[in-house]
Structure 1
Amino acid sequence: MKIGVVGCGRISKTHFEAINKLSDISIIGCCDIDEEKAKNASLKYSIPFWTTKYEELLKLKEVELVTICTPSGLHPSHGIMAAGYDKNVLTEKPMAVKLSDADKLINACNENNVKLYVVFQNRLNPTIQLVKKAIEEGRFGKIYMLVANVFWTRPQEYYDLADWRGTWKYDGGAFCNQASHYVDLIQWLGGPVEAVYAKTETLARRIEAEDTGIAILKFKSGAIASLNVTMLTYPQNLEGSILIIGERGTVRVGGIAANEILYWRFSQYHPMDDEVNSVATNPKSVYGFGHMDYYKNLINTIKQGKTQAVDGIEGRRSLEIIEAIYISSQQQRLVLL
């Protein structure tokens, strides 16, 4: 599969490295409005074509899929343009900063008969896969509570690197940008959410959006959850974790990227219990190792019709919750989904 990448900033490195480790996929073009970034990416990762003009990338007939690594607020417009050139679309999370823009992207891909996917690679963490399997096997019984913690640090210098960071138009805050993976995981594991109540604050960073917040979710199943998020953890990233408490089991997945099973107890033994100590990974960053597995999954989905990757409708679910979090905090009320 031939790929074109738009956006050669911070997250693109993870995509370039993941793709270069796979034999049946290659990057044939990259694009960035910053000529130096596009050129350097081309040289470093042996990409044959680079440009500062997005449409030049889209005009390459060989490109089957466009990977979007631009600021979040630009994901919809860049995806819609790619769909207009009959390219499949893979967008980094979140797929948009506004639900209405996400819907425009979904509609554009449907109208042009191309596929749309959203990068939520943490679903493929071996730890998370084992928890999902336990849920599907009914081992928890009735799930009562879920807790997600994202205690990371983003200093002011991080936001000052680009003027779009921390803005409502292009980025959003801690929930929309950094914690969107955990919003996705908590709804993927817990099921449909029916109501949200939240409080967000900008406590220390000089940005428009929030650097800290807490959200309470009510699930249709009756379970409740809390999401606790801050980018102010001293002195470095502390944890990205998920806790699930059910009538017959309790599990906590932690580490900096939900990469370790810290607690695993169920009322009855199951062979999967023997896998607990073997699924931990040791990532160097909060991105984890999931991008390579995500691309493998994506190839199987597009080329062979196998395991379904996270499509536009799935990617939309977490964004709906994030938008409800912001509405709830701004209007100080419960928001029904």
Structure 2
Amino acid sequence: MKRIQLAIVGCGWAGDIHMEGLRPLADRFTVRACVDTSAERRAEFALRHDIPIQAETLAEVLAMSEIDVVVICTPPVLHHPMAIEALNAGKHVICEKPLTSSMELVDDIRAAESRSIGRVMPIFQYRFGNGAEKVRSAIASGAAGKHFATTVEIARTRGAKYYEQAWRGKFATELGGLWVTQAIHIHDLLYSLIGPAVAVASFNDTRVNPIEVEDCGVACLKMSDGSLVSVGATLGSVKQQTRIRMCFENVTFERLVNHETERIADDPWIVLPRSDEAKREIDAAMDVETSRFSYFSRQYELFHQALSSGTPFPVTLDDARASIELVTALYLSARNGSTVNLPISKKQDEYRGWAVR
């Protein structure tokens, strides 16, 4: 298959992270164009990444026959309209998180995809960490046994400088706070490892920054297999760390990272088997051949394979919809002080989003 021609839409930090992930895949992808409303920002981005074409609007690159895929790295409020516009133009779409602000709008994107020759891949790079892939293999094999409970601590630092960009910290433009930004990747990672939740109870608050969205939250999830998950998250930590502890019948998996130097889903995870026999089975299940790539690079590698073979993308609209449903439940529970049972039906007001009153 020829090199896939990409256009990066949004020349901020997210665009830079995508370019870093694409760098080792230069034999498979070419970033042909970049798009940003700021002439200065797109010029600096193009120079930094040696991109030949600059454009002010998405429509300009959608008119280019050589562009195969648009990669949406804009503020979240623009994700839905840009994805629809790109699909209507017959382009494939890769879109940053959160995909959009409601299950209804996810379904709207799905409908547009069904009418288009283009397809959509949401970005959830954590599930492609090389350590997480080994843990997933052990769980899927049955070697880990029954899942009992998982605890997650997300301790990040976001201060005034982070919110200097006017779109941040607002429901209208960022679509939410830590539940849709810093925590959403961990939630997707958990879903990819142990499946979806069937009940959600949560609290959130704004305690760190003078913003309108939440920057602290706690949640309890009951998973579809009956097991339990607790999540605590803040943007007011002195040190940026995330910890996961997953307790199974035959093993406990642990990972604690300093975000300045490590990534939560990469190796090495601590593996604590319950017995020598369990260790042998778990070691065998985790002894899988993994790609030399991880995170963004691995997701892009699998995206290329899917386009080449016509198979489903490694992350689908179903995955994004499940993520948006969980976020909806987190906000609904915190607002009403109640446990929210999943799935959320199309008849419920919250199907139209967590900002619905």
Change beyond 3 A, Cα 1:83–1:249: same
The 8 Å contact of residues 93 and 119 in structure 1, kept in 2 or not, is answered as yes
Mapping of 1:7-156 within 5 angstroms? 7-22=10-25, 23-156=27-160
Give the direction of change, closer, same or farther, for the CA distance of 1:79–1:308 in structure 2 (3 Å limit): closer
Q: Which moved more, 1:269-278 or 1:188-197?
A: 269-278
Deviation at 1:17, TM superposition (A): 2.2
Match of 1:302 in 2: 307
Looking at structure 2, the residues matched to 304 and 271 of structure 1 have their Cα atoms a distance apart, in angstroms, of 33
TM-score when scaled to structure 1?
0.91
Tell me if structure 2 keeps the 8 A contact 1:174–1:212.
Answer: yes
Residue-by-residue CA offset, 1:215-251 (whole Å, 9 max, x unaligned): 11111211010111111101x3122x32211111111
1:263, distance to aligned residue in structure 2 (A): 2.6
| Secondary structure in structure 2 of the residue aligned to 1:269 | helix
How many Å separate the matches in 1 of 2:23 and 2:200? 41
Cα distance in 2 for partners of 1:64, 1:154 equals 36
The counterpart of 1:265, out of the listed 265, 268, 272, is: 272
Q: Contact 2:131/2:269 (CA < 8 Å) preserved in 1?
A: no
Unaligned stretches of 5+ in structure 1? 280-287
Per-residue CA deviation, residues 90-120 of structure 1 (Å, 9 max, x unaligned), is 0011111222222212221122132111111
- Give 2:195's match in structure 1, choosing from 191, 204, 222: 191
Q: What is the CA–CA distance in structure 2 between the aligned matches of 1:272 and 1:223, rounded to whole Å?
A: 20
1:276 deviates by 7.9
Q: Quick check: 39-48 or 302-311, which moved more?
A: 302-311
Superposed, 1:190-269 pairs within 5 Å as 190-234=194-238, 236-239=239-242, 241-255=243-257, 256=259, 257-258=263-264, 259-266=266-273, 267=275, 268-269=278-279
Whether the aligned pair in 2 keeps the contact of 1:183 and 1:322 (CA below 8 Å) is: no
Q: Can you give the 5+ residue segments of structure 2 that lack an aligned partner in the other structure? A: 343-357
Question: Match of 1:285?
Answer: none
Which stretches of structure 1, 4 residues or longer, exceed 6 Å deviation after superposition? 274-279
Say what the alpha-carbon RMSD is for the aligned residues: 2.2
Q: Deviations over 1:258-282 (max 9, x none)?
A: 1344531223133763898999xxx
Aligned residue in 2 for 1:170: 173
Q: Which amino acid aligns with 1:333?
A: S
- Of all paired residues, the percent bearing the same amino acid is 27
Q: How many residues align?
A: 327
